[in-house]
Structure 1
C-alpha cells in the first residue's frame, strides 16, 4: 500500500514521545540494571516504583519501573503542545469510539489515558514536573551515558493499519519496509519530534512492545557498555549488535533487562524536520535494510516482545519473512 500523505494539521498536537511504564518482577534487580549498568538517574522511588530520567532531560522521568507480579508494559506516554490539546485529543478519541479517561499520575498534570487502533494503552499529558539541569554534572555520567529517551518500536499485526491511524494524529513516516510480493508494509518509522522516529511499527503478533531506545553520545559509549556488561554478569543480556542499521543509519546495540524488556542503545541517526521530506523505501529482502553492517538479527529479535497489561496479541496478517540469522 502507498504511504499516506503527511497530515500536517492533525486534530491535536503531539510534541514527542515521553516515557514508558514497565511492570517488573524484581524492582531491585531492575533498578540495578537501569541505574548502575545503563546510568539512568533516580528522581524518586518508593517500595513499588522507581522513577528515572536521562542526562539531558528536564522532565521528571522517562522510565517508570513498577513492581508487578508479571513482567509487562503499563503504557506508552506522549507529551502534547499545551493543555488545550489534551481536550482536543479527548474529544477525538471519544468520537472514534475509543475508551478515554482522566487519570492521576505522580509528577504530571492532567493525563489522558486511551488506546490506539489495536488497543495498545497510550497516555497523553502536557505538564510534568521540571527538574534542574544535570547535563553538565559530569560526575553523574555512568554506564552508557544515556542522554534521552529516543523512540518506541511496537509489534503490529497490521503495519498498514498502524501507519494509517498514527498518520491521522500527525505522525510522519520517514522510512518504511515494503513486501514486494504483496505491496504491503512490513515495518514503518514515524516521528513527531524531527528525528527518524518517535514510534515505529514492525510486523508481528501484536500489539507488543518490541523495544524502547535511548540516545547516547557516541558509538564508543556502546563499546564501553559491552565491556561493562561482559564483566559484571550481564553477558547473556546482550541480544544483538553492535552494528549499524540501514534504516535510520543509526549505530545500535540491543540488550534485555532482567524481565526481558528489550532496550536499544542508539546514536547517529539524522534530522527529519522538513514537513515535505519524502519517506525512504526499503525492500524486505534487502540484507542491508536492518543491518548495513554487522551480524543479522537473531530469531528472538523478530519473535519476542513485551506484553501490554491486559492485552492479548493478535497474529500478524502479513506472513512475509525477513532475513534471520541462522
Structure 2
C-alpha cells in the first residue's frame, strides 16, 4: 500500500497532541518518579489523580496519573483542536464512521468530546484548557531530564495501513514510514499535525496498545544526566533502550519504563515538517539504520511490551514481517 496523499482540507482541524491519562498502582511512587526523576511539574492533586505539565507548557496538564486497580493501562489520549466548531465537526466525523461519541466533563478542560479511532484507541478532543503562567524561565524549578513539552504518542496497531488511512483522512500527514518490501504493506508510520516528525506514530504489533509517550528535552546531555540519575537512585532496571540516535526522525533518544511499566521516550533534535507538501521519507524494514542511525538493533521487549487501553480488546497484527531484533 502506498502512503496516502495528505488531506490538506480535513473535516476538522487538530492542532496537536495534548495529554494522556496513565493508570498507576501507587500514586506517591509514580508522583515521585515523574517529578523527581523526570522533572515534570505538579499543577494539581485531587483524590486519586495527579496533574503534571512540562516546563514550556502553558496548558494545565500533559499527563494525568490516576490511581487504579488496573495499573499499567491507559485511559485516553488527548488532542487539542483549533476552535469550538471543530469539536462539533469532529463529533459528526466519528459518528459517520460508526464510532461512539460522548460529551464528557474533564477537570481544567472546556467542552470535551470522547470517542475512539478505527482500532479502538480512546481519543478525546477539546479546544480550551486552563492556562497557567509561564515557568520556562524559572530555572530553579528544573529537575531530572528537564522536560520541555510532550512530543508524541506511539501506538501498536494490528493494521498500520488502516491506521494511517484513518488518521490521514482527518488531516494527519506522514513524515516517515517503514515498508515491508515483500508485501508492500506499512510496518510503521510517523504522522504529524504540529510540524514536527510526529504527534502520533503507529508500530506493527498486537493492538491497540500504547507503545510509548515521548517528552522533548533540551539536549542529548540532559539524557545522559537522566541515565546517571536513574542508575544511582534505584531505577537502573527501568532503562530499556538507548541512548542513541534514530535513523527515522534523526532524534536523539532514550526509552525507559515508569514504575508501572508505561514506556516513556526522552527525545530531542528531530526536524520540522511545516511545509504542507513535505515529502515522506521511506525506510526498508530490514535497514539496520532505521531503528538506530548507528546500527544498533532494538531489544525484543521494545517490539512486544506495551500498555493496554482500558476496556479495549487487542488483536494480533495482520502483517507478520519482523525487523532486525537485538540478540
2:201 alignment partner in structure 1: 200
Alignment: residue pair count = 326
Q: Following TM superposition, by how much is the alpha carbon of 1:47 offset from its aligned partner in structure 2, in angstroms?
A: 2.7
Aligned partners of 1:16 and 1:80 also within 8 Å: yes
1:90 alignment partner in structure 2: 91
Distance of aligned partners of 1:294 and 1:53 in 2 relative to their CA distance in 1, 3 Å threshold: farther
Aligned partners of 2:288 and 2:296 also within 8 Å: no
Please say if 1:26 is aligned against 2:21: no
Q: Give the unaligned 5+ runs of structure 1.
A: none
Root mean square deviation of aligned Cα: 0.6
Q: Following TM superposition, by how much is the alpha carbon of 1:151 offset from its aligned partner in structure 2, in angstroms?
A: 0.1
Q: Following TM superposition, by how much is the alpha carbon of 1:293 offset from its aligned partner in structure 2, in angstroms?
A: 1.6
Instruction: Tell me, in whole angstroms, the C-alpha distance in 2 between the residues paired with 1:19 and 1:166.
Output: 18
Helix, strand or coil for the counterpart of 1:84? helix
Please say if 1:15 is aligned against 2:22: no
Q: Following TM superposition, by how much is the alpha carbon of 1:294 offset from its aligned partner in structure 2, in angstroms?
A: 6.0
Instruction: Tell me, in whole angstroms, the C-alpha distance in 1 between the residues paired with 2:233 and 2:81.
Output: 40
Aligned partners of 2:23 and 2:68 also within 8 Å: yes
2:3 alignment partner in structure 1: 3
Instruction: Tell me, in whole angstroms, the C-alpha distance in 2 between the residues paired with 1:260 and 1:270.
Output: 29
Q: Deviations over 1:94-137 (max 9, x none)?
A: 11111000000000000000000011100000000000000000
Please say if 1:278 is aligned against 2:279: yes
Helix, strand or coil for the counterpart of 2:249? helix
Helix, strand or coil for the counterpart of 1:248? coil
1:291 alignment partner in structure 2: 292
1:36 alignment partner in structure 2: 36
Q: Deviations over 1:185-205 (max 9, x none)?
A: 000000000000000000000
Instruction: Tell me, in whole angstroms, the C-alpha distance in 1 between the residues paired with 2:152 and 2:295.
Output: 22
Q: Give the unaligned 5+ runs of structure 2.
A: none
1:174 alignment partner in structure 2: 175
Q: Following TM superposition, by how much is the alpha carbon of 1:70 offset from its aligned partner in structure 2, in angstroms?
A: 1.3
TM-score (norm 1): 0.99
Task: Write the mapping of 1:222-301 to structure 2, written as runs, cut at 5 A.
Answer: 222-293=223-294, 295-301=296-302
Aligned partners of 2:23 and 2:70 also within 8 Å: yes
